[in-house]
């Protein structure tokens, strides 16, 4: 059973299906029990407890809804609560897939006063979080002041390649306590160094251990970009996270941006490779198994609505991206000049939030599942919500299309729902 508007579901047995069919808006619980009494030759009083328990499970799953028209994306959906900020485009590495591009040609870093002003504006508007990335943000000499200032008012995440993290750096970070995402593209030197450069695996591990020694182990996240060179090693990355005591790991599909755009054939994993990985991480590996929280990388695959689910899992309209030149974009994957909203050098955050361009882009992206013909007839549309709008744009040059994972995602939803249901039944029977 699927919710008519939200990503909520429940698997029922045959009797449950009969109860659902009898919930036609005309019968109350007593009437449903009388119908079932006639069908099964039992007294209504004997059937009532099971019917009530089943209806309560529907209510708890969020599936008991009023008969009302589907909700539509609202302009109020634009409410900036987070910023993804490029502190610099400079980097000490030359990764073969870098989406920023050639670090040796990076422009000047954004001025510190503009960054501090942005942090204050975001906090004053009720913003909650800021992610600092690059390039390599630790190349800025003033990074401690920036991170410290942000940490006083916001939840901070710092994205780093880990190679510049020393004991001193880790100690300064520990004073603030941010979340720290370390990019690691393989579980061994051969794989990782082939992507990021000789010696980088050992340097990144030294950085991770320094952060752990400084008491930041629970704040660490590993991030791996999936590509031809490493996708077969993805399961081993989970084992590495376990061995390092890191609580979270994210796997991200390769995006055809920056250096990856010029050589997709040399970097792109095949769809079959992606499908094998997704089946492993979402089906074969039990959800919640082991001490590491795993995000598998299949964008638009959502089996459980977030607690703060409003209309869409996508952060567009909630989070903006500010590049190192101060230009504002709706998404890290939509940094094309056609989508630039403005610049923090001459626009306040409130002006950006109320920008007709940002609102128009947000509504266009969130409305895709009702526009794309394939999505309108898909039973999983309220889960996937047409997936990430940036993927088909990067692949096909349009928002009004599905991405390359669409057919597989539909099948995986069906397989996952019944796999989870079987496991729940098995767990209940074993108790």
Predicted TM-score (pTM) of the model is: 0.88
Helix H or strand E encompassing 60: helix 44-60
Helix H or strand E encompassing 293: strand 293-295
**65 vs 8: which has the higher pLDDT:** 8
pLDDT tens readout for residues 371-428: 999 999 999 998 999 999 999 998 899 999 999 999 999 999 999 888 877 777 677 6
Distance in angstroms (rounded) separating the CA atoms of residues 3 and 119 = 39
Q: Are the C-beta atoms of 258 and 101 separated by less than 8 Å?
A: yes
Distance in angstroms (rounded) separating the CA atoms of residues 148 and 151 = 5
For 150, phi then psi, to 5°, come to -65, -40
Distance in angstroms (rounded) separating the CA atoms of residues 3 and 396 = 31
Please give the pLDDT value at position 75.
Answer: 46
What lies within 8 Å, CB to CB, of 156 at 6+ separation is 129, 130, 131, 132, 147, 150, 176, 178, 179
| Residue 311 pLDDT level (bands cut at 50, 70, 90) | low
Q: What is the mean pLDDT of the chain?
A: 90
Task: Give the pair of three-digit tokens for residue 21.
Answer: 């069919």
- Counting other chains too, the contacts that 414-422 makes at CB distance below 8 Å and 24 or more residues apart are 415/279, 415/283, 416/282, 416/283, 416/303, 417/9, 417/11, 417/303, 418/11, 419/283, 420/11, 420/287, 420/303, 421/11
Helix H or strand E encompassing 277: helix 271-279
Residue with the two structure tokens 């990388």: 297
| Residue 11 pLDDT level (bands cut at 50, 70, 90) | confident
pLDDT tens readout for residues 331-378: 999 999 999 999 999 999 999 999 999 999 999 998 999 999 999 999
- The answer, yes or no, to whether residue 103 has pLDDT greater than 50, is no
Burial class (CB in 10 A: 0-12, 13-18, 19+), 152: exposed
Distance in angstroms (rounded) separating the CA atoms of residues 363 and 230 = 36
**10 vs 23: which has the higher pLDDT:** 23
| Residue 305 pLDDT level (bands cut at 50, 70, 90) | low
**Percent with pLDDT over 90 in the chain:** 74
Please give the pLDDT value at position 427.
Answer: 73
């Amino acid at each position: 059973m699927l919710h008519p508007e939200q990503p909520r579901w429940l698997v029922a047995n045959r009797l449950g299906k009969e109860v659902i069919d009898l919930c036609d808006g005309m019968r109350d619980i007593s009437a449903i029990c009388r119908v079932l009494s006639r069908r099964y030759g039992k007294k209504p009083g004997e059937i009532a407890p099971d019917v009530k328990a089943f209806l309560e499970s529907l209510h708890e799953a969020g599936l008991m809804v009023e008969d009302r028209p589907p909700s539509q994306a609202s302009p109020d959906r634009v409410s900036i609560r987070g910023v993804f900020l490029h502190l610099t485009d400079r980097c000490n590495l030359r990764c073969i897939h870098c989406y920023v591009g050639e670090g040796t040609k990076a422009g000047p870093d954004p001025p510190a006063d503009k960054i501090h002003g942005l942090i204050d504006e975001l906090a004053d508007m009720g913003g909650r979080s800021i992610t600092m990335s690059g390039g390599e943000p630790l190349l800025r000499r003033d990074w401690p002041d920036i991170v410290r200032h942000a940490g006083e008012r916001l939840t901070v995440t710092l994205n780093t390649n880990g190679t510049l993290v020393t004991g001193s750096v880790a100690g300064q970070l520990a004073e603030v306590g941010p979340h720290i995402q370390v990019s690691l593209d393989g579980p061994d030197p051969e794989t990782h160094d082939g992507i990021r450069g000789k010696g980088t695996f050992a340097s990144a591990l030294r950085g991770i251990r320094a952060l752990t020694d400084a008491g930041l182990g629970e704040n660490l996240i590993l991030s791996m970009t999936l590509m031809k060179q490493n996708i077969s090693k993805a399961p081993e990355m989970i084992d590495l996270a376990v061995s390092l005591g890191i609580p979270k790991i994210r796997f991200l599909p390769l995006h055809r941006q920056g250096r990856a755009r010029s050589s997709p054939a040399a970097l792109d994993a095949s769809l079959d490779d992606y499908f094998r990985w997704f089946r492993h991480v979402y089906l074969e590996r039990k959800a919640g198994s082991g001490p590491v929280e795993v995000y598998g990388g299949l964008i638009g695959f959502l089996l459980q609505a977030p607690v703060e689910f409003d209309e869409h899992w996508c952060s567009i309209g909630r989070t903006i991206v500010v590049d190192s030149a101060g230009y504002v974009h709706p998404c890290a994957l939509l940094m094309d000049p056609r989508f630039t909203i403005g610049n923090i050098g001459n626009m306040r955050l409130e002006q950006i939030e109320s920008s007709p361009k940002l609102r128009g882009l947000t509504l266009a992206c969130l409305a895709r599942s009702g526009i794309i013909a394939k999505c309108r007839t898909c039973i999983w549309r309220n889960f996937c919500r047409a997936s990430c709008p940036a993927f088909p744009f990067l692949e096909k040059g349009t928002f009004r299309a599905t991405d390359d994972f669409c057919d597989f995602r539909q099948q995986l939803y069906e397989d996952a729902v019944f796999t989870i249901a079987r496991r729940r039944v098995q767990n209940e029977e074993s108790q």
